Amino acid sequence: MKRIAVYCGSASPEDPRYLALARDVGATLAARGIGVVYGGGRLGLMGAVASGALDAGGEVIGVIPEALAGSEVANRDCTELFTVSGMHERKQRFTDLSDGFLTIPGGVGTMDELWEAMSWAQLGYHSDPVGLLNAFGFYDDLIAFNRRMAEVGFVRPAHQGILIARDELGELLDAMAAYQPHTPIFRMKASDL
């Protein structure tokens, strides 16, 4: 993986562990020679991921919608900063620029990005690993919900390994690097669906 899209919150929770985690994610990716593609903001966990990577000498590519680029939230320190028309183009650019997707704690926008990366993988729009860092047990309920969808039959057996969830960053990155693409829906026969 040469670049990973990092999905995370633009907020700064009161608990300082979250910002420290985000900085560590950026620094760790840089140390492994993996570039960061992210939302282009300078606030919250987003800004901390970028700072961590930049401070460690890593590549950071921001992708920010026009509506946010004009305000003071754009991170002009990025290696490269793309301004796009809106959220759909932003997420497409994440996919085009990245070899994998890593979600750390965040809110509604982060969930939108994670689920879209998983959905696009299922369909076959990309064949890259989708990682979820379950730091501090933040995503315990989401992991259980994803397992429940599979148990009920809403996630096909061929796609149950798309989401790679780990509690530790190093283990997650290693699992993502070892990911073997699944058979996407676009290549399945009707009898397999």
- pLDDT, tens only, 47-81: 999 999 999 999 999 999 998 887 768 999 999 99
Distance between CA atoms of residues 100 and 20, nearest Å: 22
CB 102 within 8 Å of CB 129 = no
Give me the percent of the chain exceeding a pLDDT of 90: 89
CATH of 3-192, picked from 3.40.50.450, 3.40.50.170, 3.40.50.720, 3.40.350.10, is: 3.40.50.450
pLDDT the model gives residue 70:
77
The pTM of this model reads 0.94
Scanning the chain, the segments in alpha helix (DSSP H) are 16-31, 44-55, 66-69, 87-97, 108-123, 140-152, 169-177
pLDDT the model gives residue 118:
96
Distance between CA atoms of residues 42 and 50, nearest Å: 8
Distance between CA atoms of residues 78 and 142, nearest Å: 31
Q: What are phi and psi of 4, to 5 degrees?
A: -125, 135
Asked if the model's pLDDT at residue 160 lies above 90, the reply is: yes
Asked if the model's pLDDT at residue 193 lies above 90, the reply is: no
Asked if the model's pLDDT at residue 188 lies above 90, the reply is: no
